[in-house]
Homo-oligomer: A and B are copies of this chain.
Amino acid sequence: MVDPTNRVIYRATPKGAGKVALISGGGSGHEPLHGGFVGLGMLDAACAGEVFTSPTPDQMLEATTAVDRGAGVLHIVKNYTGDVLNFEMAAELAAANGIEVATVVVNDDVAVEDSTWTAGRRGVGLTVLLEKIVGAAAEEGRDLAAITALAEKVNAGGRSMGVALTSCTVPAAGKPTFDLPEDQMEVGVGIHGEPGRTRVALEPAARIAERLVTPILEDAPFADGPAIVMLNGLGGTPMIELYLMYGEVAKLLEQAGVQVARVLVGNYITSLDMQGCSLTVLKADEELLGLWDAPVSTPGLRWGI
Contact = CB atoms under 8 A, between A and B. Distances in A.
Interface of A: 28-29, 31-32, 35-36, 51, 235-240, 242-243, 265-267, 270, 272-273, 275, 297, 299, 302-305
Given A267-B267, A273-B275, A275-B273, A32 B239 contact: yes
Contacts of A237: 236, 273
A161 to B, nearest CB: 21
Contacts of A243: 31-32, 35-36
B302 A302 contact: yes
Given A29-B238, A235-B240, 13 more contacts: A31-B240, A31-B243, A32-B239, A32-B243, A36-B239, A51-B240, A235-B239, A238-B272, A266-B267, A267-B267, A273-B275, A302-B303, A303-B303
Contacts of A236: 236-238, 273, 275
A270 B238 contact: yes
A84 B240 CA distance: 23
Contact of A31 (B239, B273, B304): B239
Given A265-B299, A299-B265, A239 B304 contact: no
| Copies of this chain assembled into the complex | 2
A251 to B, nearest CB: 13
Contacts of A235: 238-240
Contacts of A51: 240
Most buried by B among A236, A237, A242, A272: A236
Most buried by B among A28, A267, A270: A267
Given A266-B266, A266-B267, A28 B240 contact: yes
Most buried by B among A28, A239, A242, A270: A239
Contact of A239 (B240, B270, B303): B270
Contacts of A239: 31-32, 36, 235, 267, 270
A245 to B, nearest CB: 12
